Amino acid sequence: WLPSTEPPQPSPDCHYGGRRARGRLRPRQHLAAAFTILYVLEQLFLPYSHFITQGYNNWTNGLYGYSWDMMVHSRFHQHVKITYRDGLTGEVGYLKPGAFTQSRRWRDHADMLKQYSACLSRLLPRYNVSQPQIYFDVWVSINERFQQRLVDPRVDLVRAPWSPWTPTPWLLPLLVDLSPWRQRLQELEAQLDGHTDAVFIADFPGLHLENFVSEDLGNTSLRVLRGQVLVELVEQQQNRSLQEGEGMQLPAGQYHKVHTVSPEPSCYMYLYVNTTALELERNP
């Protein structure tokens, strides 16, 4: 093919500068420019929109996926318990965390917990649970803080209020005043040997933690770091009050409850020694 000898022709799809081009923008070019500007403004606004969408705020503010700092937070879940209660008979049962869902994000977001509870309330009647009430007990540590509850375990989330525009009333606050403890917790963990594990707990007044000590953990102790707790040994039907700095051994193979009785949040630590593994190592 020979090159064309005709002079270049203007295209109707292009915008050219110069005096002749003034006032010749097409409507779709105006729309494209407006869409681009609105899209850029939206992306700049969403990370800071948590003052509007307060129902989506958790311990870190902002919509999930739009917060600028969402990737700088580390979370570790120590314990998640889902309890259901039959609204007619009062029968209580427990569900495996994550039942009927493949996602795990619900453990960190109040709006997703609300959706999950609504889903469970629709599914459980198929299994002869009438008017189900759903309670969540989610323990999580964020950025190496104490393990603490995310939501109030006494609130039935099926009937609990939630709105995207107001703060969630059953979301428990992050205990930011305990943040200076992080350095101390790291120092305590550094002192442990290879057979000992530590779990650091912070709990709110009026609540309690129910825990079971496995028989393999024959040397398990609890020590109070702050506040006052009441340790209830369920099978032995005994109670023991512990102040800051005090501790006690916990019986293996039994349940116990740790009640926070001080007016401020309590802090305590579990020390677990795997005596079975230690014995096997000493006597192979």
Q: What is the pLDDT of residues 184-202, one digit of tens each?
A: 999 999 998 878 899 999 9
Instruction: Please say which residue of 151, 174, 197 terminates a domain.
Output: 174
pLDDT computed for residue 198 by the predictor:
95
170 and 82 belong to one structural domain: yes
Note the pLDDT tens digit of each residue in 102-143.
988 899 999 999 999 999 999 999 999 999 999 999 999 999
Q: Determine the Cα–Cα distance for residues 74 and 65; give it in Å rounded to an integer.
A: 15
- Within 8 A by CB and 6+ apart from 57, the residues are 50, 167, 168
Of the two residues 214 and 195, the one the predictor is more confident about is 214
In this structure, are residues 203 and 260 in contact, taking their beta carbons and an 8 Å threshold? yes
Q: Is 44 within the bounds of a domain?
A: no
The domain in which residue 275 lies consists of 181-282
Domain count, the chain: 2
141 and 212 belong to one structural domain: no
pLDDT greater than 90 at residue 283: no
pLDDT computed for residue 235 by the predictor:
94
Neighbours of 223 (CB within 10 A): 17
Question: How many residues comprise the chain?
Answer: 284
Q: Determine the Cα–Cα distance for residues 272 and 267; give it in Å rounded to an integer.
A: 17
In this structure, are residues 219 and 261 in contact, taking their beta carbons and an 8 Å threshold? no
pLDDT computed for residue 111 by the predictor:
94
pLDDT computed for residue 158 by the predictor:
98
Q: Is 118 within the bounds of a domain?
A: yes
CA 103, chain centre distance (Å):
13
Q: Is 65 within the bounds of a domain?
A: no
Q: Is 59 within the bounds of a domain?
A: no
Instruction: Please say which residue of 149, 174, 199 terminates a domain.
Output: 174
Q: Determine the Cα–Cα distance for residues 246 and 244; give it in Å rounded to an integer.
A: 6
207 and 126 belong to one structural domain: no
pLDDT greater than 90 at residue 172: yes
189 and 121 belong to one structural domain: no
pLDDT computed for residue 6 by the predictor:
77
Note the pLDDT tens digit of each residue in 31-77.
999 999 999 998 787 777 778 888 988 888 766 655 555 567 889 99
201 and 267 belong to one structural domain: yes
Average pLDDT of the segment spanning 248-255: 95
Q: Determine the Cα–Cα distance for residues 69 and 25; give it in Å rounded to an integer.
A: 40
Using only C-alpha atoms, the chain has a radius of gyration, in whole angstroms, of 28
* Cα-based angle 139, 205, 172 (whole degrees, multiple of 5): 45
For tokens 């002079």, what's the residue? 7
Percentage with pLDDT > 70 across the chain: 89
Q: Is 63 within the bounds of a domain?
A: no
Q: Is 50 within the bounds of a domain?
A: no
CA 14, chain centre distance (Å):
52
In this structure, are residues 158 and 118 in contact, taking their beta carbons and an 8 Å threshold? yes
87 and 121 belong to one structural domain: yes
